[in-house]
Structure 1
Amino acid sequence: MIITDTHTHLYSEAFDEDRAEMMQRTLEAKVSRLFIPAIDSTYTASMLQLEKDYPENVFLMMGLHPTHVKDNYKEELAHVVEMLDKHKFYAVGEIGIDLYWDKSTLAIQQDAFRYQIQLAKQHKLPIVIHCREAFDEIFEILEEEKSEDLYGIFHCFTGTLEQAHQAISYNMKLGIGGVATFKNGKIDQFLNEIDLKHIVLETDSPYLAPKPFRGKRNESSYILKVVEKLSGIYNTSEEKIADITTDNSKAVFGV
């Protein structure tokens, strides 16, 4: 059984004290494919080091996270361009719009999102979308940019069934993680109406730990709790959940 975590911030400061031990637990849990989203240029060196340390397991993305779209965002986007030109990445991400923390930056978030979608198309890469309190704004841009070469993952999907179908219509897989195990997470109530071929697994570690770890630091080995939950939702074996979602991740990332 091979399990793929399509979204984990392994370079986070939250792991600075015990990263090697955390990675050992992850690999022992058969979570052997780990896709690493970017936040901004300050994390690039740490990401490259992770790839060097775990070349068989770690696959990097490059992008500017919407909560880090600030006054200097054009400099940050120039860094994204430079890195995409000189290093192998497997997606442009995580990118998108976040109106939970700061609505005042909406216009520049939209600009950065559009620009990075176009970069992904140029490099023939998928996108990995961060959406928080911004479904309408995200869908508006996806509608503008939709094409055969626009595809990817709607990371940490927490929308409604209707929004799930809309995301899928833009060639997006749904990234499902710890929220599916929450009592008030809601997505577990309709996930069985979404074909497994549209689902990939993720942790978003160190955030959004699944039950029974909710409120604690998340790590990639905890994805086993998500596999267990989806096994119940889809009434199928954990092995089948792992196999199908790993195949789906290969279809997106090309590896």
Structure 2
Amino acid sequence: MARIVVIGGAGHVGSRVVAKLNEHGHDAVAASRRTGVDTVTGEGLAEVLKGADVVVDTTQAPSYAPDVVMDFFTTSTKNQLAAEKDAGVKHHVALTVVGTDRPQGISYFHGKAAQERLIAESGVPYTLVHAAQFFEFAPAIVFTSTQGDEVRVADASIQPIAAEDVATAVGRAAAGEPVNGPIEVAGPEVFSIEEFIRRTFAASGDQRPVSASAEAPYFGAVIEEKTLLPLEGAQLASTTLDEWLAAQSTH
């Protein structure tokens, strides 16, 4: 079985990827600043990649500030790819976002798109996992869409997916052959962002009013109705929003 290093392996998705890969007999190692690996400075990369067959990048930028996002993803990715070439890594898997490859003004997506270009041009065989927005991302959408006592979201559709299902898709990509391009993964249901937030509010008892507007920004950018939707042929996970919400209430 393969030796797989998961960068960001202590995070929300990365830790799940490590667990799933090890359950299936792979030698998966979590690498993060907690374990002495810093992809921005390059510290610890050469050591952790010795003997690695596959690298999985599940890192997240420390903030949504445009300059921070761009600097993080470009610097981190350049350092990883350089270390991978030295170590003879055969497959680079990056977790990224549905919508980075289409016109939009979301600065976070622009940082991810720059990351994807670096990977595609590196010469290291690769797979990009384009994931739809996570169910777990609802609080961030609410935080950035709140005006006074009202939550005003973009009038657009969404096809969210559970982080657990994203980890499964990333793990499968890491265990498989490089596709040298993207695969897209999303949840089984399409609904408006407004409905998504209304249903999560209903499950938690949040009484704040929710409305939608074509002018309301999504993380600082006005988006089109289908900006966040996967393309035809995406891999669809099975966990529904209701199933995920029910599971949260038992935690």
- Shorter-chain TM range is 0.3 to 0.5
TM-score by length of 1: 0.38
**Higher relative strand content:** 2
Which structure: larger Rg? 2
TM-score by length of 2: 0.38
